[in-house]
A = this chain, B = another copy of it.
Amino acid sequence: MKQLLFVLFMVFSFGVTAQTDDAEILKTLYTTSLTDGKSYAWLDHLSNQIGSRLSGSLGAEQAVEYTKSELDQLGLDKVWLQPVMVPKWVRGAPEFAYIETAPGITTPVNICALGGSVETPNAGIKANVVEVKGFEDLATLGKEKIEGKIVFFNRPMQADLVNAFEAYGGCVDQRGYGAREAAKFGAVGVIVRSMNLRQDDFPHAGAMSYGDLPVSKYIPAAAISTNHANLLSSMLAIDPNVKFFFRQNCKQLKDVQSYNVIGEIKGSQFPNEYIVVGGHLDSWDLGDGSHDDGAGCVQSMDVLRLLKAAGIKPKRTIRAVLFMNEENGLRGGIEYANVAKSKGENHIFGLESDAGGFTPRGFSLDCSDAFFQKILDWKTLFKPYFVHYFEKGYSGADISPLKNNTIALAGLVPDSQRYFDHHHSANDTFEHINKRELELGAATMASLIYLVDKYGVGQ
């Protein structure tokens, strides 16, 4: 009995001590990030000195060089570039569009070509418009009412969904596959309401795909700002015969060479167990990609730096990976997973930050029940930092190709309310980054990585 009590005492006091130690480490990570973090200065450079970083662009190339050289200065065990061929889509001259109420009576509106779209003829396209809320409407209207027209997808993001990503998920099919679907009914072009919960003047870019349509059937697709989507809808309600004109000369060029940027701290006990933390280095071309996803990149870089600064020597190998080409191809994520597989690297955990540099709320976890339970046990450690959201769900695009039966994947979940004010638009700029919110995200990520490294993902 005495012995049992002693064992119980040891187990209990060990548990308490471990939690106390961990609480101290987390405090150090948060304090360092908030008082001596580098993420904000790095993002300032990435956003204001380099700017937008669409795959294959000069900005993307400069971002690869810059982040590598910054990682080089952190005293990591290894920093390298992982080659990957990426698609190169270029916007070309600024798009131009107007609503024509009567011959010569026009109202200019703000549009941007969707990523992957074909150009219009040089002279543009002018046609009648048919407004729809979704793909079902296309079938209802049929070829007769669609052929030769521009299809205007105008289903707004649902404002009553508190999680803005849920509202996005409920609309993004229009952007992704609107052109493919409308083309099947003979439409000559597609205009899509921007994925934005605000009413404003920014058109929001983003990827679209023609799927398996024959190239001859490709029709140009553009996003229109929410204000101008409302305007167009109102004008159509008054007169269904108003015409829409748009011109864009974007092009898909040949694939070009680019890179994932990788920094690594080698594990002291289990060097072949890999933990990855990352964001994507490419961005859309209209803003400077501060929230999407410069934030995730600089936070991931700072995770390594914060761990080092706290004197933590990881048991497992920890990598920060700045993935290339998340926006229009995911080539970086796919290549990283392929190389990892071919080298037999045992990846046990991946954490992605690709939801903006806002106040961190928690993590969305794609993992076993056992690991999820473990994470829940860490909840109290995060409470002083107001990090409370630990739910099963989607992790992130770039780490998704690593998925297998054993790896645990996680996505940082920041507050989502403002994200789609900026996402993919000219409004995604550094001035909308709050230094503390960004730094709290980096510390939250470093804390989870620290705990996963220390305790593993097993039982």
Contacts and interface: CB of A to CB of B under 8 A. Distances in A.
Interface in A15-67: 30-31, 34-35
Given A197-B436, A418-B434, A30 B160 contact: yes
A389 interface: yes
A359 B417 contact: yes
Contact of A198 (B160, B384, B435): B435
Copies, count? 2
A385 interface: yes
B417 A31 contact: no
A264 to B, nearest CB: 29
Contact of A34 (B34, B160, B415, B436): B160
Contacts of A198: 435
A184 interface: no
Interface in A328-375: 359, 361
Interface string A154-172: 0000011011100000000
A417 B389 contact: no
A440 interface: yes
B440 A417 contact: yes
Interface residues of A, number: 27
B162 A440 contact: yes
Contacts of A163: 386
Interface in A408-426: 415, 417-418, 421
Interface string A128-164: 0000000000000000000000000000000110111
Interface string A99-117: 0000000000000000000
Interface of A: 30-31, 34-35, 159-160, 162-164, 197-198, 359, 361, 384-386, 388-389, 415, 417-418, 421, 434-437, 440
User: Nearest 3 A-B pairs (CB), nearest first?
Assistant: A31-B160, A388-B388, A417-B436
21 contacts: A34-B159, A34-B160, A34-B162, A35-B160, A159-B436, A162-B384, A162-B385, A163-B386, A198-B435, A359-B359, A359-B417, A386-B389, A386-B415, A388-B388, A415-B415, A417-B434, A417-B436, A417-B440, A418-B436, A418-B437, A421-B434
